[in-house]
Every structure is written in structure tokens, then in C-alpha cells.
């Protein structure tokens, strides 16, 4: 039988070879001298308490996973972080959603920008239903009016335009296709945008991981998750970007009182590949009974709060529980949160 093994030279044609320590130091010196400081400059999420825990923000080459039950605000938080990074850092952000189209994401951002999420109390912000009603009514009165005309007519117009100008050209949105937006397609998008932006720092947000299609069908969910999460991690490392991906929970997680990393679909591969894992839970559902049995009014207040548990943090502290208040009508969280002071339940140990 003919030997079909390629010569060693062919095997190594497209493979990077090991470099001496001196070569690495020279390359590092060149990057620093030319201002390529991405490896040393984290991108803050805008949630200060979280940034302090994870070393200042997201870093190039990192894969960050975000899990939580349905309706807790995973997309809300991910889009808000994407907006914060695009607005207040040198980075550009790609937001791929397999759930929502670009117009819906834009509408969420408009609602978010209509208020100051750090201010308590009632605010005359723009809610989604208000926006939809305004578009319909304005068009009835002005048949030739466009979207910008409607926005200019809103009471919150000046505030919205002032804020959104900060990231108009730095936040990229895409309604991803569950059939066509595969890992190679995602990587090609990243590469093209890096070229167009002269290799500016970049964050890729995927909403959500289990929706990324494979080129072949497999009924093995764990196998699919393994391939996808390895692919996302490879994109992060190969292109020097941070990747934030939302992850769905498995059936056991949907029944759990408190969701953990182990409840996410394909948890073994996720745990192994990710650098940071953040799990969201509704605060009032995971509070120890001693905090709510005799204080029903306080328990009602906690229903709008979400606990963000940093369950894995490769470069720092883990098992840290933070809390932030959800402003669901305006698709945002109050970024001024803090460490959870109350006792929380756990699936293994219940602190009473």
C-alpha cells in the first residue's frame, strides 16, 4: 500500500513553530513599543464591583460564559455590557443574537438610553410599548415620516441621541442564522471586522452558545457543546479578542432552586474551556428563609434583584456573589451593585 503520510515539512506548513524565549521577548517589546497593549488593558464591563473581582474587566483571549434561568435578564445584561464597552473603551463589539433581530436590539438600546439606571425612583423613560405606539401614531399623522422623525418627536430624544452617539460606529449587531452562522462564519466575521477597524480591541458576544449550528447533525448534546465551546475559545485566542457567550441550562437546571455552572448544558466542557463563568439567579428565590419569613415587604423588594455568582475565575477570586437591580421595563441593570450580604441557599448546603 502506498504511504500517504505527508512529509514533515508539509505537516508543519501552516502550523506555528515553538519560539525561543528571546524571540518571545523581542516580539513583546515590539508590541508594547507600537502601543499594542491589549494583553495588559482589560475592558471594563461598566459594573464596577464585578470588574474588581475579574481583574478590571474582560481581557483578550478570554472566554466568559453567562448562565441563568429564562427571564432573568441574560440578554439584557449582555447587551448592556456590549454597549458599555463600545461606548467607554477603545474596543469595537460584535453582538450576534440567534434570538432577536437587529431592530429589536436597537429598540432595547433606545429604551435603555432613555433613563439613568443608577437613579432610584420613577423616571419618565421610554418603554418598548411606548416606542411601538409612538411609531404607529406618528406615521398615521405623518405618512412620509421615517424612524428618525419619530425618535426626534420623543420627550427623551435629546438624552437618547446624546448617549447613543458614543457607540453608533462601534457596536455591530447581527440576527444570526441557526442554519448559516456557523463557527467558521463567525470567525470570518471577526477577521474581516478586525481588518476594517485596523485591529482595534474587540469583544464578541454570542446569544446563545447552544444555537450555533454545526456542519453536521448530532444528537449528542454534550458533543455539540464541546465542539462549539472549543471553537469559541479558539476564536478568542487566535484573534486576541474577548468572547462573552450566553449559555442555556439543562433540564436539571430548570428544576433547580439555585442554578450553578454544573446545571448548564455540556457543563464539563464549559467548565474546562471558559476563563470566567457567571451564573445568574433571582435573589428572592435563593435567600435563606430567615431573611424573608418575617419580612415579607423586604422580600418583595428583592424580587427585582439578581445575584451574579462568579463561579469560575481563572485569574482571580471565584465563588463571589454579587447583586444588581434589574430595571426590566428599560432593559437594563443598575450597575451600582455590591456583594450579597444575606445568606443564600445552595443545592448542597442550606444555610439557615
19-28 pLDDT, tens digit per residue, is 999 999 998 8
Q: What is the pTM of this model?
A: 0.88
What's the pLDDT at 3?
53
Provide the CATH number for the domain around residue 256. 3.40.50.300
User: With 80 as the cut, is the pLDDT of residue 135 above it?
Assistant: yes
Number of folded domains in the chain? 1
Residue 33, in any domain of the structure: no
Which range (2-16, 92-106, 114-128, 258-272) has the least confidence?
A: 2-16
Residue 131, domain extent = 40-339
Residue 226, in any domain of the structure: yes
> Does 344 or 49 have the greater pLDDT score?
49
Residue 323, in any domain of the structure: yes
Nearest to 167 by CA among 125, 109, 103: 109
What's the pLDDT at 348?
45
Q: Could you tell me the pLDDT band of residue 111, with boundaries at 50, 70 and 90?
A: very high
User: With 50 as the cut, is the pLDDT of residue 352 above it?
Assistant: no
Residue 2, in any domain of the structure: no
Residue 32, in any domain of the structure: no
Residue 344, in any domain of the structure: no
Q: Is there a contact between 187 and 235 (Cβ–Cβ < 8 Å)?
A: yes
Mean pLDDT value of segment 52-73 = 94
What's CA 91's distance to the chain center, in Å?
14
Q: Could you tell me the pLDDT band of residue 34, with boundaries at 50, 70 and 90?
A: confident
C-alpha to C-alpha distances, 108 to 101, 114, 268, nearest whole angstrom: 11, 10, 33
Residue 200, in any domain of the structure: yes
Sign of CA dihedral 187, 189, 191, 194: negative
What's the pLDDT at 331?
96
Share of the chain above pLDDT 70, in %: 90
Residue 232 contacts by C-beta under 8 Å, 6 or more apart in sequence? 63, 183, 206, 209, 243, 245, 273
Residue 118, in any domain of the structure: yes
Amino acid at each position: 500500500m502506498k504511504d500517504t503520510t505527508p512529509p514533515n515539512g508539509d505537516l508543519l506548513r501552516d502550523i506555528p513553530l515553538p519560539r525561543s524565549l528571546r524571540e518571545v521577548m523581542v516580539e513583546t517589546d515590539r508590541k508594547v513599543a507600537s502601543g499594542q497593549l491589549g494583553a495588559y488593558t482589560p475592558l471594563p464591563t461598566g459594573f464596577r464591583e464585578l470588574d474588581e473581582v475579574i481583574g478590571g474587566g474582560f481581557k483578550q483571549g478570554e472566554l466568559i460564559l453567562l448562565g441563568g434561568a429564562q427571564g432573568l435578564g441574560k440578554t439584557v445584561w449582555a447587551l448592556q455590557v456590549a454597549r458599555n464597552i463600545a461606548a467607554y473603551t477603545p474596543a469595537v463589539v460584535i453582538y450576534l443574537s440567534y434570538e432577536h433581530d437587529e431592530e429589536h436590539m436597537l429598540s432595547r438600546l433606545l429604551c435603555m438610553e432613555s433613563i439613568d439606571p443608577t437613579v432610584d425612583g420613577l423616571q419618565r423613560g421610554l418603554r418598548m410599548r411606548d416606542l411601538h405606539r409612538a411609531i404607529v401614531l406618528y406615521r398615521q399623522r405623518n405618512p412620509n415620516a421615517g424612524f428618525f422623525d419619530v425618535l426626534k418627536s420623543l420627550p427623551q430624544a435629546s438624552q437618547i441621541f446624546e448617549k447613543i452617539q458614543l457607540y453608533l460606529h462601534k457596536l455591530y449587531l447581527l440576527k444570526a442564522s441557526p442554519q448559516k452562522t456557523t463557527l467558521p462564519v463567525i470567525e470570518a466575521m471577526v477577521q474581516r471586522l478586525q481588518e476594517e477597524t485596523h485591529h482595534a480591541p474587540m469583544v464578541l458576544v454570542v446569544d446563545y452558545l447552544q444555537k450555533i449550528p454545526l456542519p453536521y447533525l448530532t444528537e449528542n448534546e454534550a458533543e455539540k457543546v464541546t465542539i462549539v465551546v472549543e471553537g469559541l475559545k479558539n476564536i478568542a485566542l487566535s484573534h486576541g479578542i474577548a468572547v462573552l457567550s450566553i449559555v442555556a441550562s439543562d433540564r436539571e437546571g430548570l428544576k433547580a432552586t439555585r442554578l450553578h455552572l454544573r446545571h448548564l448544558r455540556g457543563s464539563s466542557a464549559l467548565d474546562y474551556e471558559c476563563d470566567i463563568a457567571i451564573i445568574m439567579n433571582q435573589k428572592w428565590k435563593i435567600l435563606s428563609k430567615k431573611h424573608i419569613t418575617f419580612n415579607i415587604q423586604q422580600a418583595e423588594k428583592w424580587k427585582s434583584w439578581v445575584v451574579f455568582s462568579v463561579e469560575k475565575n481563572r485569574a482571580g477570586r471565584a465563588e463571589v456573589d454579587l447583586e444588581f437591580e434589574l430595571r426590566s421595563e428599560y432593559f437594563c441593570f443598575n450597575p451600582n451593585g455590591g456583594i450579597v450580604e444575606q445568606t443564600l441557599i445552595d443545592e448542597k448546603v442550606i444555610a439557615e
